[in-house]
Amino acid sequence: MATAPMTAGSQKNRIDWSQPFAYLVALVVVGITVAPVVYVVLNGFRSTAQINRDPSGWPAPWQWENHTGVLTDPMFWTQFTNSTLVAVATTAGVVILGVMAAFVIARYEFRGRAALFTLFTAGMMFPLTVAVLPLFTMLRGMGLLGNLLAVIIPQVAFQMSITVIILVPFLRSVPAELEDAASIDGASRFGFFRRIMLPLSGPGLVTVGVIAFVTSWNAYLLPLLVLGNPAEATLPVGVQFYSTTYSQDTAGVLAFTSLAMVPALLFFTLAQRRIVSGLTGAVKG
Amino acid sequence: MTAPNLTAGRATPARPDPDPAPARVRRSRRSLRDLALVWGFAAPALVVYIGFVIVPVALAAVFSFFNWNGLGPLERFIGFENYVRAFSDPVFLGALRNNVVILVLSLAIQGPLAIGIALLLNRKLRGRTLIRTLIFVPYVLSEVVAGLAFRLMLPPEGPVDGVLTSLGWSGPKPQWLADPDIAFWTLFAVLTWKYLGLAIILMLAGLQGIPEELHEAAALDGASWWQTQRRITIPLLGPTVRIWAFLSMIGSLQLFDMVWILTGGGPLNATQTMATYMVDIGNGRSQIGFGSAVAVILFLISLVIALIYQRAVLRRDMVGAVTGRG
């Protein structure tokens, strides 16, 4: 963003109030957005007794037992591992299958190409919510309930639409001259795909990868239904289990919750630009 | 399968192809190798997609005509009885109404708020990147974590009440999550907290696409800041606003996670949505047939809204979005 402030009549030596006003608005908005996060993180460092006595107080003294308690709980690490495995596998599946399909849709002329593209884009209209009950019965029939694959495969399938929509324009923008040059140099079709297309479409791949990862990391409905018990669960389901099991241990729940926030916040800080450009790129083509 | 077209002629002349091929598509020889490559590359994605998106959606339609608990054979065909039952069930109708109210309120409240804040923040500010990052934080947190945080903050005499007391609100506070008349508004406030950041970021991204010269020209012509925003910026932000509104509407209809965590649809079904109701009857009470009928209704409502919206509002924008011709 490189817009100069529009100051009404700035030539006339009047004080420009718009700048402090903008800061004030920013301060209020940021205050409201981060307050719950700050509350959870801070109160994770207090004991339940302290929290009950004074719900909106400051940690005094700072307690570390809650966090050590969660971090030495093998269940937390099991769920953390499950979440990581599911997110990594989902991302890999989405990127690999998505780029292959998008490549032929973007660069080949064949009968059924438009239909194929339409089929993938139509998926934007089928949210997981609509399919989740039949999915549950299908996965039970396959004997996959409780298996991480029961989350990974449907997630890959449901991410395919947005992935193809984002990747096709990317892959299409690679000039045809490059392809001709590659084939003159004796590269096979597959060689062209691997050596030229993939490297050049890097930013697009990162974008769809980040969207797939974040979506998977935060997913709740599908894991809730197909991963039955805490030892098989991913973190969001695990947080929910923990909060109902230890509902008396408010401080412990807060510590668990704040630790569950960390990966998403870290990952997001690193990939912020990609997420935003992906979201806006998806709607701008 | 036939050989690929040699010409750039469309296989479907009936309606214009929404996605014309690039200017220079490789002219493929009529060779099986090309076909093998094309379908070999498309097959894995296609198989997974059809198997786990198209098939379950189709199955939902099939199941919705049966009285079925998810086990044993599908044999008790009951026609449209599940649909009749849904539309005569006050709980479902209440859930549907909640979805619609959330949809309308989201557009009416979050939209203007997000546009206003984005217009104000679209300037040189110290720490702009930090501000934007922090505004986006709620969107990144999982709904489960966010919902849990609010559940811990909203009990009677909890931190929220404590803050209100210190701001001078003496006397009893509303039961934020336990009072059926209040819980729905609490839920809407939490949803606004969760999704306003996304709207602001999208609007800011849209504002960046507006050429600086326009502002300068308007300033030279003596337009005030407010006139410039109203006559130039906001109209040019149109495509972004329309896309955001579309995402917001579909999201409002699909709402599940936050409600499930925050209130579970209670108290007394005051915050039930179509999706929480569906999971409740389909998964909780094993009425897969009836639950599927609710899923189909939810889908059809989304589809109708999407189609009307696309026809009426998005047509110009989507042409640019899908084909990359802005």
Q: What is the pLDDT of residues B171-196, one digit of tens each?
A: 888 999 999 999 999 999 999 999 99
Q: What pLDDT does A1 receive?
A: 42
For residue A204, the distance in angstroms to the closest alpha carbon of chain B comes to 14
**% residues pLDDT > 90 (chain A):** 39
Statement: residue A245 has pLDDT above 50: yes
Q: Quote the mean pLDDT of chain B.
A: 84
For residue B310, the distance in angstroms to the closest alpha carbon of chain A comes to 12
Statement: residue B314 has pLDDT above 70: no
Confidence of residue A279 (pLDDT cuts 50, 70, 90): low
Q: What pLDDT does B104 receive?
A: 96
Q: What pLDDT does A285 receive?
A: 37
How much is the pTM?
A: 0.84
Residue type at A5 in one-letter notation? P
Q: Say how many CA atoms lie within 13 Å of A51 toward its Cβ.
A: 27
Closest residue in A to B218 (Cα–Cα): A6
Confidence of residue B112 (pLDDT cuts 50, 70, 90): very high
Provide the 10 A C-beta neighbour count for residue B108.
10
Q: Give the distance between the most distant pair of CA atoms in chain B.
A: 82
For residue B305, the distance in angstroms to the closest alpha carbon of chain A comes to 11
8-state DSSP, B262: H
**% residues pLDDT > 70 (chain B):** 87
Determine, for residues B283 and A136 on separate chains, whether the beta-carbon distance falls below 8 Å. yes
Long-range CB contacts (within 8 A, 24+) of B50-53: B51/A157, B52/A131, B52/A135, B52/A153, B52/A154, B52/A156, B52/A157, B52/A158, B53/A123, B53/A126, B53/A131, B53/A157, B53/A158, B53/A160, B53/A161
Interface test with A, best of B1, B34, B59, B148 (most A CBs within 10 A): B148
H-state helical runs in B50-179: 55-63, 81-87, 90-105, 111-121, 128-140, 143-153, 159-166
B66 three-class SS: strand
What's the average model confidence in pLDDT over A188-216? 84
A12 versus B278: the higher-pLDDT residue is: B278
Statement: residue A4 has pLDDT above 50: no
Report the first-to-last Cα separation within chain A, whole angstroms: 20
Q: Which element (helix H / strand E) includes B48?
A: helix B32-49
Confidence of residue B323 (pLDDT cuts 50, 70, 90): very low
Closest residue in A to B51 (Cα–Cα): A157
Interface list for A 108-127 with B (CB within 8 A): 108-121, 123, 125-127
